[in-house]
Each structure stands twice: as C-alpha cells, then as structure tokens.
Amino acid sequence: MSKFDTYFLMKPAEVAEYAKEKLDVFAPDADLDCVEIGDGNINYIFKVWDKNDSKSVIVKQAGPTARISDAFVLSTDRTRIEADILILENKLAPGLVPEVYKYDEVMNCCSMEDLSDHEIMRFALMKHQKFPRFVDDITTFMVNTLLLTTDVVLEHKHKKELARSYVNPELCEITEDLVYTEPFNDYNGRNNVFPPNLEWVQQNLYGDQDLLLEVARLKFEFLTHAQSLIHGDLHTGSIFIKQDSTKVIDPEFAFYGPIGYDTGNVIANMIFAWANGDATISDEAVYADYVGWVEQVIVDIIDHFIVKWKIAWKENVTEILAKVPGFQEWYLHTVLSDTAAVTGLELCRRIVGLAQVKDITTIPDEAKRLRAERICLTAAKRFIKDRDSFLCGADFLNNLKQAEKEFTT
C-alpha cells in the first residue's frame, strides 16, 4: 500500500518520492530533488529533477483552499479540469501548451512538462524584452481553442457534454467577485487601492452609475453565456515564453463562457506591459523601441485574430444557420465587443482589486505609478462603456493613447 493512496498536501520531499513512485519519467535508481516554485494565488507547484541527468518534471497540486486566502474554499476537481483542458488544447493548438504526463485523482495533482527554459511572460516584459513570435502564437492559440469549441463548429450535443464536464463553480465565483463585482464598489472591503488614487477611484469607478450599469450587464452575460471553452485566466502570468516558443499554462479557471473573456485578458495585460515601460524607461531610444513594440503587439493581436478567425470559420463551421450571409460578421462583432469590455474589466480589477499585477505595483516612482493607474483606468472605462465601437486593433490602441494624452503634462 502506498502513502499516496490517500490525499494529503505534499511537501517537496514527498513530491520527489511521489514522482519516483508514480511517474514514468525517471529511472528506478534516479537521485531526485524537489523545490516548490509556485508563487501564484491558487495552487502548489513543484519542480522535480534527477541530479544525475537533465530529466525534470513539474508537479502541480491543488489544496482545499486558495493560497491567496483561506477564505476561498475550492474544489480540488480544478486539477482534473486543468489536466483535461491542457490535453484538449494540445490537440487544438499543438505545441502551445505543456505536455501532460499524468493526472492523479487521489492526490489531486497533475504532472507535466517542465518549462524551465522558458520565462513567465509578465516578468520578461517587466525587463522590457520583446518576443517576435508572440502575436502569431497567441492568436493561433485563441482562435483554435475558442472558435473550435463553440456551437457553430461542434455537434450541439457534444458541446453540451463538454460544458457539463467543465462546470467550475468555485473558480467562476472568484472571477465573478474579483473581476465583475468588487472593483466597482468594494462592498466587502477587499479592494487594495493605491492610497493616492483612492479619492479618484471612489469618484470615477464607484460613483459612475453608467459604468456600474454596463458592468452589471457584463456580469450577467458572463454568468449565462456558455459560448466557448475558455481558458478563464489568460494573462501574461499564465504564459511561459522564450524567443522561439510560447506556452499557455494554468487553465484551471476553464469553463464554458464568453470568448471575449480570454481575448480581453490578453489585451489588458499587454496594456499593463505598456504602462510599466512608459513609467520606468528613461532612455528615449529604448523607450521608443520597447513601448513601440508593445503598441504594435496590441494592434496586431486584434487584427491577426480577426484574420485567422475568418479563415478558421470558413474551414470549420458546421452549423447550417451560421453560414447565413451576415451571421459571421455579427458573431465576430460580439466577440470584439466582449473583448473590449473585458479589457476594461481586467484593467480595473488588477489596479483596485485584491489580486494586482507587479507591472503596476513595482513602479518605484509614486507619481509615475499614479499616472499609470489613471491612464489604465480611464482607458478601461471607455472600453467598458463604449465596447461596441472597438472594431480593429487600431481602435484598441487609440483608446489607450487618448487616455495617455489626458495625463500628459
């Protein structure tokens, strides 16, 4: 009988023992070491390696509560969802997610490819690195995983079976609270507003009734719109990257929801990268090079997504009524509208909410951080309130640049 026949939350030494016993990655005589490497809000992540060769593996285990707070009691079934989704995503977008080796339903852990030769994209962008393959990779990933899991492509019963399999109420509740509710009222006191920005936030977010009405509409669309099998947390902290490779990780928030939730998260986090570069780069040539690249990425993600979407639609759509002239244009417009709205929601929640981003919080100059926050929040309000007006990449960038002008002296 194995000690791993009953669930418990493992420590590094136990993870190394688990890997040797349960995985086929290492030789029986392998000398293994392990260290915890995760610093996220939800799970426990370990790297296990053989001291005598180059073999290594990542083991990700789910606890009964989130790491960020014991107040978030979570089902450990999220690990099953993550493993299943990674396997499916690797079929739909080959090579753009890590390979899964094993899912263990007893220990609630998933063992997968080690991506130590990659870097978390958020941290790479904070060092103002550029990645020429990113636009092509992320737009391929989004089109293939999002469009190809919708009712317009899948047989409807199969799509409903998938939706039932990936019901994810505890993780969805976190999104509903942290993204769609708390940043706009702080009703339970969990928001974490930068003190110099508090009065502005109270007036321009909490006090904007038109904004609150639109956010209420968006929340109930999120609650009820089972459009596509979305990643659910697709930001630069969920992407491993290097110059010739992009890997999307951590789909534990996955469920059937609105496509724009994923696409909007990507755009918002590129705006955070822009804000960090704008606030911290003093050399004019370096600024022009890096910030200019980020701005072009924002435009290109939207425009390449549109082009690839139309090609994939033509090649994959099976629903007969989806082939009616004008339907594709209407459907894509709703996706772009949702993309703009979620861009705004993500900008707001990462600045005033509980779970913030280091792109903003590590800006050392208080005045520059305040300016960065105001630019992001001003752009966010337009993304939400005028979401139907964003039709191409230039529209997204122009909104950001207009907000920048308002806070440039």
Q: Tell me, what's the pLDDT at 73?
A: 75
70 pLDDT higher than 80: no
pLDDT tens digit sequence for 380-397: 999 999 999 999 999 999
40 pLDDT higher than 80: no
Last residue within a domain, chosen from 87, 112, 137: 112
Which range marks the domain in which residue 128 is found?
Answer: 119-406
Tell me what the mean pLDDT of segment 138-158 comes to: 98
Widest Cα–Cα separation across the chain: 70
Do residues 37 and 70 both lie within one domain? Answer: yes
Give the orientation angle of helix 260-280 with respect to helix 366-385, to 10 degrees.
150
* Residue that is written with structure tokens 């990933």 in the block: 141
Do residues 241 and 361 both lie within one domain? Answer: yes
Do residues 153 and 73 both lie within one domain? Answer: no
Antiparallel, parallel or unpaired: β 109-112 and 245-248: unpaired
Do residues 58 and 10 both lie within one domain? Answer: yes
Distance CA(141)–CA(137), nearest Å, equals 6
> Dihedral of CA 68/233/187/276: which sign?
positive
Do residues 95 and 239 both lie within one domain? Answer: no
Q: pLDDT band at 78, cuts 50/70/90?
A: confident
Looking at every residue in the chain, the average pLDDT score rounds to 95
Do residues 293 and 397 both lie within one domain? Answer: yes
Do residues 141 and 260 both lie within one domain? Answer: yes
Please check whether residue 198 is in contact with residue 377, taking contact to mean a CB–CB distance below 8 angstroms. no
100 pLDDT higher than 80: yes
Do residues 223 and 269 both lie within one domain? Answer: yes
Backbone φ and ψ for 49, nearest 5 degrees, come out as: -145, 155
Quote the percentage of the chain above a pLDDT of 90: 89
Last residue within a domain, chosen from 112, 131, 166: 112
77 pLDDT higher than 70: yes
Do residues 193 and 295 both lie within one domain? Answer: yes
Return all residues near 248 (Cβ < 8 A) that are at least 6 apart.
89, 96, 97, 138, 141, 231, 234, 238, 239
Tell me what the mean pLDDT of segment 171-192 comes to: 94
Q: pLDDT band at 63, cuts 50/70/90?
A: confident
CATH of the domain at 202: 3.90.1200.10
Give the orientation angle of helix 134-142 with respect to helix 260-280, to 10 degrees.
160
pLDDT tens digit sequence for 223-261: 999 999 999 999 999 999 999 999 999 998 999 999 999
Do residues 11 and 130 both lie within one domain? Answer: no
Q: Tell me, what's the pLDDT at 409?
A: 62
Do residues 51 and 145 both lie within one domain? Answer: no
CATH of the domain at 98: 3.30.200.20
Do residues 15 and 67 both lie within one domain? Answer: yes
Domain count, the chain: 2
Last residue within a domain, chosen from 54, 79, 112: 112
39 pLDDT higher than 70: no
Q: pLDDT band at 1, cuts 50/70/90?
A: confident
pLDDT tens digit sequence for 192-225: 999 999 999 999 999 999 999 999 999 999 999 9
